[in-house]
Amino acid sequence: MIEGVSLTPLKQIGDERGMVLHMLRRDWDVFEDFGEVYFSTVNPGFVKGWKRHKRMIQNFAVPMGNAKFVLYDDREDSPTMGEVQDVELGEENYVLLTLPAMIWYGFVGSEDGPTLIANCASLPHDPEEFEVRDFTDPTIPYTWPS
């Protein structure tokens, strides 16, 4: 596990009418602060990445569909510098993925339909606060499936 990254199992409560999907509570250890909540979608087989935030902590959940998240740690002061980690999030593995600042991440949606990704971020969106790289960037030691 990359230093500072955590996975928290999430509750799903359902019956014939539908589902309640928990995501994050302010009394959980992983909660730091509230900046904004947003949702994004990724279409089947498409990659979104690479991106990292300079100060923001992110809390991702995938309530619909499935996505593979890939993380890369290039923080010089980290005991896990140089490590790559991947985790499947979604209907089959409903967990909260908490990312500290300065971790590169990307994700790819499953092949069986659009995927909905929820993020409860510790800061409001600020275009000066993050960096992006192309998903084919060779400085990150990971090759996305084609």
Q: Return the HEC string of 83-142.
A: CEEEEEEECCECEEEEECCCEEEEEEECCCCCEEEEEEECCCCCCCCEEECCCCCCCCCC
Percent above pLDDT 90 for the chain: 94
Q: Please report, as a single letter, which amino acid is at residue 87.
A: V
pLDDT at 75: 98
> Would the pTM of this model clear 0.85, i.e. be above it?
yes
Q: Which residues contact 79 (CB under 8 A, 6 or more apart)?
A: 3
Q: Rounded mean pLDDT of the chain? A: 96
Q: Cα–Cα distance between 62 and 73 in angstroms, integer? A: 22
For 19-68, how does the pLDDT look when each residue is reduced to its tens digit (9 = 90+)?
999 999 999 999 999 999 999 999 998 999 999 999 999 999 999 999 99
Per-residue pLDDT at 123 exceeds 90: yes
Average pLDDT, integer, range 120-133:
97
Average pLDDT, integer, range 64-93:
96
Per-residue pLDDT at 145 exceeds 90: no
pLDDT at 146: 73
Beta carbons of 42 and 117 less than 8 angstroms apart: yes
